[in-house]
DNA sequence: GGCATATGTAAGTCTCGACTTACATGCTTC
DNA sequence: GAAGCATGTAAGTCGAGACTTACATATGCC
């Protein structure tokens, strides 16, 4: 895992509102408007956060048609389990250097 | 763990420069000026990041006198190992609600 | 048709965090 | 005492991200 990927996840999850979003849909998939009401958050704002979370690969959205025919955008958690400690961070940062500096020894092919 | 504590750690670690700082001192304690040179970062900026990391409990600093008598502020990693997944996040957010809303049943004492 | 509810997005504001420059201070060593 | 290197902090700039208001569009129901 590169530090860029790790960073995307950590930055995405390092925000109070987004933490709440994750906690909320941890209980099961919900559609956007429902989620917005539940969290007491404006829909455009929620969109932004969901977007961020989705890009980080933490949630997955899918547009569906309800039985009544109304379009509903459901979001659910993507499975993720991240370990954050000195080793994982050092490894991620080290992964960036691969190929960056001219020929790092000891890591052939 | 409350979401506030979790958030402090995640927000602290969710930044490229701070990730580099952690990776750097993962190899052993260093003093500020040394670290700044090593990372190619201005000292005041590094101070800010170290401050943030220290408040989150990820690093520990200690002012020491070198054998020559010069004051050096050393920083080293605090031991930490955080698990980031749906359960831990949901648990942290849930922890905030304890006592917030009037009398949540099922969690006596 | 009119009201409610849903998805999207455009555009603007505004605050906070990141970052720089600059300075004060203390201790060596020459 | 001047040069070199260290710790601190004050103050100011700047941009990104957070957030709001507003609008366009589609469907179902009375």
Nearest nucleic acid nucleotide to B75, CA to C1' distance: D7
Å between B64 CA and C18 C1'? 29
Question: Number of helices (H) and strands (E), helices first, in chain B?
Answer: 5, 4
Q: CATH for B3-98? A: 1.10.10.10
HSE at residue B11, side-chain half, CA atoms within 13 A, is: 16
Which one of A11, A89, A97 would you mutate to disrupt binding with B, by most B Cβ within 10 Å of its Cβ? A89
What is the distance between the alpha carbons of residues A91 and B66, in angstroms, rounded to a whole number? 31
Query: How close is the nearest chain B Cα to the Cα of A43, in Å?
Result: 21
How far is residue B47's CA from residue B43's CA, in Å, rounded to a whole number? 6
Q: Give the separation between CA A34 and CA A38, rounded to whole angstroms.
A: 6
Check if the beta carbon of residue A22 is closer than 8 Å to that of residue B92. Answer: no
Chain A hits for B7, Cβ within 8 Å = 14-16, 19
Interface residue B45 vs chain A (CB under 8 A): no
Q: Measured CA to C1', what is the nucleotide nearest B14?
A: C17
Residues of B whose CB is below 8 A from A81: 83-85
Q: Rounded to a whole number, what is the distance in Å from the CA of B6 to chain A's nearest CA?
A: 8
Task: Say whether residue A90 is in contact with chain B using an 8 A CB cutoff.
Answer: yes
Q: How much is the pTM?
A: 0.88
Composition of chain A by helix, strand, coil, percent to 5: 50, 20, 30
- Cβ contacts of residue A94 below 8 Å, gap of 6+? B23
Rounded distance, CA A54 to CA A109, Å?
Answer: 32
Q: How far is the CA of B37 from the C1' of C28 (A)?
A: 21
The candidate with the shortest Cα–Cα distance to A35, out of A21, A23, A54, A18, is: A21
Please list the ranges in chain A whose pLDDT falls under 50: none
Cβ of residue B78 closer than 8 Å to a chain A Cβ: no
pLDDT at A37: 97
Q: What is the pLDDT of residues A71-83, one digit of tens each?
A: 999 999 999 999 9
Provide the residue ranges of all domains of chain A, joining segments of one domain with +. Answer: 3-98
> From first to last of its 109 residues, what are the pLDDT tens digits of chain B?
899 999 999 999 999 999 999 999 999 999 999 999 999 999 999 999 999 999 999 999 999 999 888 999 999 999 999 999 999 999 999 998 777 666 666 666 6
């Amino acid at each position: 895992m590169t530090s860029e990927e790790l960073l995307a996840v950590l930055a995405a999850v390092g925000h109070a509102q987004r933490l709440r979003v994750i906690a909320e849909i941890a209980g099961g998939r919900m559609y956007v408007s429902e989620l917005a009401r539940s969290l007491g958050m404006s829909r455009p704002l929620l969109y932004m956060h969901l977007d961020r979370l989705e890009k980080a690969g933490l949630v997955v959205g899918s547009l569906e048609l309800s039985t009544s025919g109304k379009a509903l955008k459901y979001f659910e958690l993507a499975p993720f389990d991240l370990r954050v400690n000195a080793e994982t961070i050092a490894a991620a940062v080290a992964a960036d250097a691969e190929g960056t500096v001219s020929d790092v020894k000891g890591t052939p092919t």
